[in-house]
Structure 1
Amino acid sequence: MIVKSFLKWSETAKTGDRCKAASALARAYALGHMDQSERQAAEAALAMLLEDPSPKVRLALAEGLATIGHAPRGIVLGLANDQIEVAGRVIALSPVLADNDLIEIVASGRPTLQQFVAFRRPLSVSVAAALAEVGEAGAVADMLDNAHVSIARISLRRIAERFGDDPEIRARLFERADLPCDVRQALVERLGAALAGSDFVRSAIGGSRGRKVTEEACMTATLRMAETVYAEEIPALVEHLRMSGRLTPAFLIHALCAGNVDFFASAVVSLSGMSDSRVRGILVDGRETAMRALYRAIGLSGDLAPVFVSATLIWRAASRSQASIDTGRVTHELIQRHARDAERQPAVGELLRLVETLHFNWQRQASRDYAHALAAEAA
């Protein structure tokens, strides 16, 4: 009887009155003080309001039910499939919508609705994975800004693959402490490529010079990453660098001179195919003949292998005489020891030039970090 009366009234009621009725009915349903027959009648009336021709009425209904955990699921799903103004509030807030519902909304491909999903608090791993896979750039950026979302590492990797060239998303990924190190390094490369290809860099310092500068900057950034990466992530970073051709002699020898022996050893293991214990044994206690054979096994030429042997011996001596390795001292001694070789052998000269350049870049960045730390303490 109530439903029939409501239906008759709604046929002649003004839009504003129907909006008020929708809000009042939603509030009454939210309170839950209804017996079964009253609840059934209320749900029937809500279903009628769901079919109201005015979006203002359906919006009032959505606003009233959006945060209600016991709201009728059929009504909520209907509102979630309405036009954007109506659906948005329900999609962003309703606890009635399950992960499967949200994944379907994401898969629909409507960017604005995807963004409403990205705003949800909390947002589950599975829904975040769906956004990472098929979400538009705006929705993915909003998800990365959401502090209440759980994003799996594989989803972060997928976001980087899809949107690594998007400056805003790339910046958000760089800010994440949980970004896998190999993904971070890949983003560094894409950032470097973007800088090298920018009109500003080409006009300021020229195309070839710009590529060289950004290449060295990327290598410096990767070296710093290798120094701070967690031990369990080193193999993944090494494999990524190996596959992308970034485990160059200059990169490896700088890591060794910097005392980053864990990363260096892992790289040699990957390149040589030898066991980790065998490689570390040679690096720590092996004779020069064993070291030379090891370095040739990773593809170093006869000109460069002796430079690596010298770097290993210098590192050994430095590590046994002091708690921390002085990168500048090790690099300087290596360059001095092979100065004549650099004059006679172009490959050695180029390697030492790169090592010195990388060291200077590394040193400048370390000085900037120290100055920023002092400024932060004083603030």
Structure 2
Amino acid sequence: MTKDRVERLLADLSARSRTETASIVAAELSSGRLSDAERQIALDIVAVLAQDAIQTVREALAEHLKSCPFLPRELALTFAHDIATVAVPVLRCTEVLRDEDLIAIIHAGNVAKQIAIAGRSSVPEAVCHALIATCDRAVVKTTVGNLGAQLGEGAMHRVVEQFSHDPAIQRLLIDRPALPITVAQRLVECAADDLRARLMLRHRLPPALFEELMMHGRDRAFSSMIADVPEEQTEALARSLSERAMLPPLLLLRCLCDGSIAFVEASFAVLAGLPIDRARILIHDQGPLGFQAIYRRAGLPDVLLPAFRATVTVRKGVEEGAEDLILERILDHYPGLHAADLEQALAQLWRVLIPDATALPPPALP
């Protein structure tokens, strides 16, 4: 880019020529190849073109300068306060704008600009707070889904309250790397069963909160998710859940009823401290002693032993109609149950395991 070339291009008043000039000068400025003197000339030209009445000229500048390390803050602000098609590339990429600059633009109320800021590679906590405060679903969704956004606990609570009936945003919140326990507790109250199960899988919840979820039937969705885990990953999953005290007996029984045999085998092996192959042999032992031995070594309650044994027996020999037969066998072993289907039987087994569960309030949340 020579001085003559610049002067010739600037002398041509056509929109096409000025747009071409903007692209060439901005690209040269961003390249880092200019000397200090040449860079200053380029910046002077950009400052003039940034005020051009033709939109395509300003758009070309913004696109080429969005990641330019030499872009002055004043010029970046000029682009940021322009129309959205000019501002968005700069707002999404430039690092020269300060938090207060971004917050002021958020408060101006343009949704396209707000979404651009929400999608930046790094969004400081104060900027996140301003984005969440817009209450705009698209803005909030972009912010929560951006793992580079530093969401504070207060902002997360506001998201949960604002979107207590929005599973898409709740899922994005659950999928973040870390959740404060108070946010997890609030999600437990308002999220659907499948999202509660996802919450349990992704975050190290305190055992008391996990038991609270189990007592309210969340293990049904949890078991459904486990059923989709590839067999080769079941042992790692069982070990991870065991380390977090997340393998309660009724969940294992439900998984067994649902046909997740590989996961139950892996869980027994982990709980009993045995290799998976040896655990599998004991679980499927034709006699009465093998299963009983590994069951007790796994530390599972004697009161549920008949239900586990009956379910294993049915699952070994029956595929079609297995649930009806499991129900029949469970009712035979527990005459006090009065269940019309397997789901009811599993719910009532909680009271067999903890006889006074219905008389006690649920465990306090930590």
Report the TM range for the smaller structure's normalisation: 0.5 to 0.7
Contact 1:258 1:325 in 2 (8 A): no
Partner letter of residue 327 of structure 2?
H
Q: Which residue of 1 aligns with 2:63?
A: 67
- After superposition, the Cα gap between the structure-2 partners of 1:179 and 1:192, relative to the gap in structure 1 and judged at 3 Å, is closer
Q: Among residues 166, 171, 183, which one is paired with 2:167 in the alignment?
A: 171
Residue 283 of structure 1, CA deviation: 2.5
Tell me, yes or no, if structure 1 residue 292 matches structure 2 residue 292: yes
Q: Which residue of 2 aligns with 1:280?
A: 280
Aligned pairs (5 A) from 1:1-379: 27-32=19-24, 41-47=41-47, 63=59, 65-68=61-64, 73-75=69-71, 77-81=73-77, 85-86=81-82, 92-94=88-90, 97=93, 101=95, 110=103, 116=113, 118-119=115-116, 127=121, 135-136=128-129, 138=132, 142=138, 162=156, 165=160, 168=163, 171-172=167-168, 191-194=187-190, 216-231=216-231, 234=234, 238=238, 241-242=241-242, 246-285=246-285, 287-318=287-318, 324=319, 326-340=321-335, 343=336, 356-357=343-344
| Percent identity for Structure 1 against Structure 2 | 17
Contact 2:314 2:322 in 1 (8 A): no
Contact 2:234 2:263 in 1 (8 A): yes
Partner letter of residue 189 of structure 2?
A
Residue 265 of structure 1, CA deviation: 2.2
Mapped partners of 1:172, 1:46: distance in 2: 42
TM-score normalised to the size of structure 1?
0.52
Partner letter of residue 260 of structure 2?
N
SS state of the match for residue 337, structure 1?
helix
Gaps of 5+ in 2: 4-12, 29-33, 193-210, 348-366
Deviations 1:58-89 (A, max 9, x none): x9986452223699653365444569634976
Residue 41 of structure 1, CA deviation: 3.8
Mapped partners of 1:301, 1:105: distance in 2: 59
Residue 296 of structure 1, CA deviation: 1.5
Deviations 1:123-180 (A, max 9, x none): 79xx2x767998446399647856xx9977x99x999x9568356496225668x969
Mapped partners of 1:175, 1:195: distance in 2: 9
Mapped partners of 2:342, 2:230: distance in 1: 24
Mapped partners of 1:151, 1:220: distance in 2: 30
Deviations 1:11-69 (A, max 9, x none): xxxxxxxxxx9x9996353253899999864532434787x9xxx99x99864522236
Partner letter of residue 298 of structure 2?
I
Length, aligned pairs only: 293
- After superposition, the Cα gap between the structure-2 partners of 1:61 and 1:271, relative to the gap in structure 1 and judged at 3 Å, is farther
**Farther-moved stretch of structure 1 (309-318 vs 223-232):** 223-232
Partner letter of residue 294 of structure 1?
I
Contact 1:234 1:263 in 2 (8 A): yes
Residue 295 of structure 1, CA deviation: 1.4
Contact 2:46 2:61 in 1 (8 A): no
Mapped partners of 1:79, 1:358: distance in 2: 69
Residue 336 of structure 1, CA deviation: 3.3
Q: CA RMSD of the aligned region, Å?
A: 5.9
- After superposition, the Cα gap between the structure-2 partners of 1:70 and 1:242, relative to the gap in structure 1 and judged at 3 Å, is closer
Partner letter of residue 308 of structure 2?
F
Mapped partners of 2:235, 2:169: distance in 1: 21
- After superposition, the Cα gap between the structure-2 partners of 1:299 and 1:230, relative to the gap in structure 1 and judged at 3 Å, is same
SS state of the match for residue 302, structure 2?
coil
Contact 2:255 2:261 in 1 (8 A): yes
Q: Which residue of 2 aligns with 1:6?
A: none
- After superposition, the Cα gap between the structure-2 partners of 1:75 and 1:331, relative to the gap in structure 1 and judged at 3 Å, is same
Q: Which residue of 2 aligns with 1:207?
A: none
Contact 1:80 1:90 in 2 (8 A): no
Deviations 1:324-355 (A, max 9, x none): 45342243232233134xx4xxxxx59x8995
- After superposition, the Cα gap between the structure-2 partners of 1:189 and 1:111, relative to the gap in structure 1 and judged at 3 Å, is farther
Partner letter of residue 27 of structure 1?
T
Per residue, is there more helix in 1 or in 2? 1
- After superposition, the Cα gap between the structure-2 partners of 1:32 and 1:83, relative to the gap in structure 1 and judged at 3 Å, is closer
